[in-house]
Amino acid sequence: MDKDTHINGQERHQGSDTKFIPMGSITSGSGREAAKDVYYYTDQIVNVIFIGDPEDGKWVLVDAGLPNAAEEIKNVAADRFGSGSKPEAIILTHGHFDHVGGIVDLVNEWEVPVYAHKLELPYLTGQERYPKPDPTVEGGLLAKISPIYPIEPTQLGDAVHPLPDDHTVPGLTEWSWIHTPGHAPGHVSLFRERDRLLIAGDAFTTVRQDSFYKVLTQKQEVHGPPRYLTTDWDASRESVKKLAALKPETAVTGHGVVMSGKELADGLQHLADHFDEVAVPDFGRYVDRRNKKDEQ
C-alpha cells in the first residue's frame, strides 16, 4: 500500500485474516513471576508480560497474545493490579499475529500508547504484510499448519509510536530496548541491567517451537526463533550473539517457560556458538539465500 494513502487516526483493526488459532500448551492460562515485578502469563502458547510492582500500581504490558486474547489479558491485569487499572504503555517485541492478537481491543479499551521498533511500524499501521510463513521448513506440525497463521497488517494508526532512539522504554525507568532483528525486521528485546533480566520476545525461545509435542509439554531448553516465521537467519544469528553477550541471569521469552542461572547461560551460549547447526533449518524457503551464500 502506498504510504501516502495511509490516514492516521482511521479506524483501528486487526489484520484482515486474523482468526482464532487452535493451539495450546500445559501452561496455557497460567502465569508466573520471573521477578517480583515481572509477571508473565501464557495465552495458549504465547507469553504476555506484565512489568510493574503490583504495590505501586504502575505497569507496562509487553505483547498482546493470540487473536481474541484481550479479555484474558484484561482479567489478568485486573487480578494483578486492581480492577480498572491500565498500563502506562504497551510495548510490542514485534508484530507477528501471536504477539498482537488482542492489541486493538486493548488500545480501544485503555487508550494507551503502543511502542514498537520503527522497522516494525509498517506491519502495525496497515502498510505491509509479513512474508508468508514457510510450511515446507524443516520442523514439524506447527510449521505445516503455518499457512493458516495470519500475516495481514494490523492497523493501529496513530496509537503506535516508534521506540525512542535513546533505547529507553516508555513507562519503565530501568529498562532498555535492544534491536534484535532476524525473526522480524523490527524485533526488539528488553533488558534490565540491575538483575540482568531479559525479555527476549522471539529472538530465541525456551521451547522447541516447531515441535508440537514440546510446545504441548513446554519442555525447557534454549532454542532459536520459531522457524516458520523467521526470514533472515543471518540477522537472527547476530541477534542471539548480542543477547548472549549480555549474559542475562533470567530470560522470559515469547514462547516457553522462564529460564535462569547456569541452565540459561549454557543454553544461550550453546545456541550462539552453534546457531547454524541447531537453529537454522536444513531446508525451507528462507534458508535458500543463506545456503547459496555459503556455497560461494
Residues that bind Zn ion (CB under 5 A): 96, 98, 202, 254
Burial 220-238 (b: 16+ CB within 10 A, else e): ebbbbbbbbbbbbbebbbb
Give the C-alpha distances (Å, rounded to integers) separating 3 from 6, 129, 197.
5, 13, 37
85 CB neighbour count, 10 Å cutoff: 17
Q: How far is the CB of 99 from Zn ion (least distance, A)?
A: 6
Q: How far is the CB of 194 from Zn ion (least distance, A)?
A: 27
Q: How far is the CB of 63 from Zn ion (least distance, A)?
A: 8
Q: How far is the CB of 226 from Zn ion (least distance, A)?
A: 6
Letter for the amino acid at 173? T
- Cβ contacts of residue 227 below 8 Å, gap of 6+? 134, 137, 138, 139, 143, 209, 210, 281, 284
Q: Which residue has the CB atom at the shortest distance from Zn ion?
A: 96
- In the complex with Zn ion, the residue whose CB is nearer, 168 or 218, is 218
